[in-house]
Amino acid sequence: MTELILKKGVRRTRVLLYDDIEQMPIERFNKISKYWMLNDSIGSGIGDFDKNHYGKMQILVDDRDKMLKQLENFRILVYNVMNEINVEHLSFACMVYSINEEPINDISENNLKAILKRLSGLGLTQETLKKKLSQQGKAFTKI
């Protein structure tokens, strides 16, 4: 496990994260894989429009079927942004083993969102989240 200490004022919160894919229960592994795939193909924020969609649409303008699929993916991205669903953040929440020694067993989407809200209130920033995802993601892909 990897330890992450969140600081907000004088309060300190200890978060343990899975750091090895072999440690994850299968259900959790499947869920994090789903969110990583969605993040890679659709994206997590409106900034991903340029990265994942706009360039492809320019190339696919003459291929109607592929263009329609790309538009559908973009529609999903917009829907997720409008409904405050960030699959990259959800993948991070899947990596949380415990918060202050309290194990995280419920990995339903609603609970993952609640975990993110809780961690945000405890001082988790986008910068820290991205850094940990990058570090942990590299370890997970070494299989």
pLDDT at 142: 46
The candidate with the shortest Cα–Cα distance to 71, out of 82, 85, 60, is 60
Q: What is the pLDDT of residue 143?
A: 42
Distance, in Å, from the CA atom of 127 to the CA atom of 30, rounded to the nearest integer, reads 25
- What pTM did the predictor assign? 0.82
Rounded CA-CA distance 20/136 in Å is 8
User: Is residue 107 within 8 Å of residue 97, measured between CB atoms?
Assistant: no
Per-residue pLDDT of the chain (143 residues; tens, 9 = 90+): 999 999 998 999 999 999 888 889 999 999 999 998 888 888 888 777 777 777 777 788 788 888 888 888 888 888 888 888 899 999 999 999 999 999 999 999 999 999 999 999 999 999 999 998 888 765 565 44
Sequence-separated (6 or more) residues with CB below 8 Å from residue 91: 32, 35, 36, 39, 133
d(CA 8, CA 139): 28
Spatial strand order in the sheet of 2-8: 2-8, 11-17, 96-99, 102-103
